[in-house]
Amino acid sequence: MSNSGKIDSDGATGLAQPRIAAPRRGLSQKLAYGLRVGPSYVWQRLTRRLPTGKVHLIFALADHFEPAIVPGDGQARAPYDEQERRLERWCREYPKAIEPWRDSDGRPLAHTYFYPAEQYDRGHLERLADHCHAGWGEVEVHLHHGIPFADTPLNLRAALIGFRDTLAFEHGCLSFAEGAPGPRFAFVHGNFALANSAAGFGCGVDEELQVLAEAGCYADLTFPTNPFHPSQRAKINSLYECGAPLTERAAYRSGRDLASGRAAEKFPLIIQGPLLPSFSGVRRLRIENGSFTGATPPTLGRLQLWKQAMISVEGKPDWLFLKLHCHSMDPTQEEAVLGASFRNFLQSMVEGANRRGEILHFVSAREMVNVILAACDGREGNPGAYRDYRFKPWRNSASSVTAGSTSQTVGKR
């Protein structure tokens, strides 16, 4: 992969293709969104109950990490020196912000940096990898593609495998599974358009989940979407295996919930964050989707909402999984991820955990999936003990693993 990491947005076909516009979000789209997710939320409120006694909160922050981001213009890129300034400042200041506040296992609130393949820069990744190897996070795969032209399976596969191998072999990132060749990774789709689910915008590849599986992806952490996005399907607040064949468009639209005593079989798993209504003030409704933004910084009140989503492995209700997300390189979001609001939240969350009956575990995306798999296998005790249960850091044993694109066991059901 070149330093630029450019991906041919027309699928490298050389053929003229129609430009695909971003989906509208008018009244009809908002009504359709409500009709998709509303019944699921009501059913969950009727059937899910928070457990009595202490609960383990397994807390991961998926950072859509884009040093080149220009707020309000997804196709623009910030000047290179601004990108470098943002990255250097983050790597310097974030450890200072979180270092005093540790979870029950003595771990800091490290981010999982989902770095966009199409924005790859060797120098940026070297700096970020050093930051992560010092204990402040892990790097995984993010991708925006299919804009303004639909991508193709062939081009997508080449982009994923090229970036995967670059992260693993050149930067010591990602993970491996014992007995299986090649790096493994978690994934977040740009513009939420996983498996061509946004009316063709921002993807173009119906069979994207199959391509991801064959490239070594063990989990997708894209969802929930922003409010009223067409890619949001009815299945919410869940940890599950895709029910539809992975070759189908939006194959994540339904699936079998993960359960204790039943090993997960079909990868990538779908790991969702909280999605539920939030009422603030008289007749004021907001959709809570677990995002850290300038308008919605993290608070203890939001923490209670995240818990109410009750995202868990069936049969292990006292292990609650909180997958949240942010854009830390967006300068308009700094207060929510680095400023006083964030620091006050982190301090209050840690200091008051025992009083609220919580046992905190700050994990990466990889570690969260490992804890989930341990729960599926019926493991007990401290969930923090299962951070490396199946997928282990690539840099720890890279010399013993052979590169390759052979997939884990996946199904075209």
Q: Is the per-residue pLDDT at 343 higher than 60?
A: yes
What are 362-385's pLDDT values in tens digits? Answer: 999 999 999 999 999 999 999 999
Residue ranges of domains in the chain: 27-397
Q: Is the per-residue pLDDT at 246 higher than 50?
A: yes
Residue range 258-287: mean pLDDT, rounded: 91
> Among residues of the chain, what percentage have pLDDT more than 90?
83
Q: Is the per-residue pLDDT at 7 higher than 90?
A: no
Q: What is the pLDDT of residue 176?
A: 96
Strands (E), 80-220: 111-116, 137-143, 175-177, 185-189, 217-220
Q: What is the pLDDT of residue 413?
A: 34
CB 67 within 8 A of CB 86: yes
The dihedral sign for the CA sequence 258, 261, 262, 268: positive
Average pLDDT over the chain, rounded to an integer: 91
Going by C-alpha positions, the residue among 225, 239, 262 that lies closest to residue 312 is 239
Cα-flanking dihedrals φ and ψ of residue 112, to 5°? -100, 115
Q: Is the per-residue pLDDT at 408 higher than 80?
A: no
Q: Is the per-residue pLDDT at 220 higher than 60?
A: yes
Q: What is the pLDDT of residue 285?
A: 84
What are 97-140's pLDDT values in tens digits? Answer: 999 999 999 999 999 999 999 999 999 999 999 999 999 999 99
pLDDT band at 50 (very low <50, low <70, confident <90, very high): confident
pLDDT band at 180 (very low <50, low <70, confident <90, very high): confident
pLDDT band at 409 (very low <50, low <70, confident <90, very high): very low
Alpha carbons 396 and 339: distance in angstroms, whole number? 33
Helix, strand, coil % over all residues of the chain, rounded to 5: 35, 20, 45
Q: What is the pLDDT of residue 1?
A: 52
Q: Decide which of 74 and 413 is more confident.
A: 74
What is the CATH number assigned to the segment(s) 27-397?
Answer: 3.20.110
CB 141 within 8 A of CB 112: no
Query: How many beta carbons lie within 10 A of that of residue 135, not counting itself?
Result: 11
Q: Is the per-residue pLDDT at 11 higher than 70?
A: no
Q: Is the per-residue pLDDT at 331 higher than 70?
A: yes
Q: What is the pLDDT of residue 375?
A: 98
Query: How many beta carbons lie within 10 A of that of residue 164, not counting itself?
Result: 26
Q: Is the per-residue pLDDT at 28 higher than 50?
A: yes
Q: What is the pLDDT of residue 133?
A: 97
Residue with tokens 């992806």: 217
Residue with tokens 């090649």: 182
Alpha carbons 408 and 223: distance in angstroms, whole number? 23
Residue range 276-295: mean pLDDT, rounded: 87
Alpha carbons 291 and 184: distance in angstroms, whole number? 26
The whole-angstrom distance between residue 373's C-alpha and the CA centroid of its chain comes to: 17
